[in-house]
Amino acid sequence: MIPKEIPLRSEDLFRLATTHRSATEDAVGESYERLEFFGDSVLGLVVAQFLFEEHEDWDQGMMSKAKASVVQEGPLAARAFELGLHDYIRLSPGEEATGGRTRPSILADVFEAIIGAIFIESGLEKARWFILEQLSPALKRVRGGDVSPDDHKSKLQEIAQANWRRTPLYRIARESGSAHERRFFVQVYFDDQMMGEGFGRSKKEAEQAAAKDALHRIEQDRRARELVELHLED
């Protein structure tokens, strides 16, 4: 049964949009990958049009940042999970055992595949309505100018330059996964000191995760120093 929040009538399209490649024999067209590719383009078009029409005073750079903020993995995966799509994903036993059902990359892909399926069945207007409805919180956030809430690399760069006159250096520690499910493990260094690490399905995503981890560690160190200073004052 298709969740009531998903404007799809075709059970076959819904099944295709929620079938991971691991549940097939790698036959082209039997997993959501083609739908996800198509849906990603539809998603980008709808969000770009929305930003273009709603923010006449924004330049290309501002719109690009806002679009990237809305269509990134985090918001898409969150919406997929809130819609309950994780309960419908078809996976191989191995992928299931390693947490594939709640993996953000898979959830985001399924969300985009659903968009592709809606477009195929009902056209652009129905797909646009679904996208704007589901991503309303993210769109409201960027409407206020908060276009890069997850740009941890920029925040880390600013902190590093302001406090230590250093530039963070990102290194790929290792890569894993198959060609269609690649994972990168990145570490960020200040000189020779490792400050953070993180995973991602792309190098950029892994670098953002590593920068976020570094920011968290820096904040923990700052709080620890404040506690020591308060203790010494007492």
> Is residue 115 assigned to a domain?
yes
Do 112 and 197 lie in one domain? The reply is no
CATH number at residue 85: 1.10.1520.10
d(CA 8, CA 181): 27
Parallel/antiparallel/unpaired status of strands 183-190 and 169-176: antiparallel
Domain count, the chain: 2
Q: What range does the domain containing 178 cover?
A: 152-233
Residue 41 has pLDDT above 80, yes or no: yes
Do 16 and 130 lie in one domain? The reply is yes
What was the pLDDT predicted at 149? 54
What was the pLDDT predicted at 197? 92
Residues identified as active-site? 40, 112
Tokens representing 24 are 């097939």
Q: What would the pLDDT profile of 116-152 be if each residue is shown by its tens digit?
A: 999 999 999 999 999 999 999 888 878 776 666 567 7
What was the pLDDT predicted at 126? 97
What was the pLDDT predicted at 150? 63
Q: What would the pLDDT profile of 45-77 be if each residue is shown by its tens digit?
A: 999 999 999 989 888 888 888 888 888 877 888
Do 132 and 167 lie in one domain? The reply is no
d(CA 138, CA 50): 12
Percent residues over pLDDT 70 in the chain: 92
CATH number at residue 224: 3.30.160.20
Residue 232 has pLDDT above 70, yes or no: no
User: pLDDT: is 56 or 233 the higher one?
Assistant: 56
Residue 224 has pLDDT above 80, yes or no: no
pLDDT grade, residue 166 (50/70/90)?
Answer: confident
Do 121 and 225 lie in one domain? The reply is no
Do 67 and 134 lie in one domain? The reply is yes
Tokens representing 76 are 């898409």
Place of tokens 């709603």: 54
pLDDT grade, residue 185 (50/70/90)?
Answer: very high
Domain C-terminal end among 108, 143, 178: 143
DSSP string, 5-73: TS----HHHHHHHTB-GGGTTS-TTSSTHHHHHHHHHHHHHHHHHHHHHH-TT--HHHHHHHHHHHHSH
Cα-based distances in Å from 107 to 88, 154, 195, 208 = 11, 26, 29, 19
Which residue, 74, 76, 77, 53, is CA-closest to 63?
A: 53
Place of tokens 């652009």: 124
